[in-house]
Amino acid sequence: MNIVRLLILLAVLVVGLIIGALNSQPIIISLGFTQINSTTGVAIIIALLSGAIIGGGLVLASVVIPLYAKLRRAQKAAPAVVVAPPSSSTFDGR
C-alpha cells in the first residue's frame, strides 16, 4: 500500500511540475488591497490545492463530523453486550 501511495505522490508531483513549466507567463493577481506577482502555473496549482482543501473541509464539516456524533450517541445508548464464554459441551451438531 505504501508503494501505491508513493507512486500516486510522484505522479501528482510530475503533473504539477509539467503544469508549472508549461505555464511560465508572469501574471499579476489583484486582490483589491494588494497585488500578487506570480506565474500562471503557480496560480493554477495554488487554485487547485486551495479548492481541494476547502472542499475537503466542507465535506468534513457537513458529513463526517455529524456522523461521528451520531455514532457516539448510538454507542452510548446501546446496552453493553456481554459475550458468554463458549460452553464445554461435547455436542458436535450431529
The pLDDT tens digits of the residues spanning 8-48 come to: 989 988 988 888 888 889 999 898 899 999 999 888 889 98
Using CA atoms of 83, 86, 91, 93 in order, give the dihedral in degrees to the nearest 10: 50
Q: Parse the chain into domains and list their residue ranges.
A: 2-77
Q: What is the pLDDT of residues 51-91, one digit of tens each?
A: 999 999 999 999 999 999 999 988 888 776 767 677 666 76
pLDDT exceeds 80 at position 1 = no
Count Cα atoms within 13 angstroms, Cβ side, for 4.
Answer: 1
**Residue 39 DSSP class:** E
> How much is the pLDDT for 45?
87
> How much is the pLDDT for 42?
87
Dig out the grid coordinates for 3 from the structure: 508503494
pLDDT exceeds 70 at position 92 = no
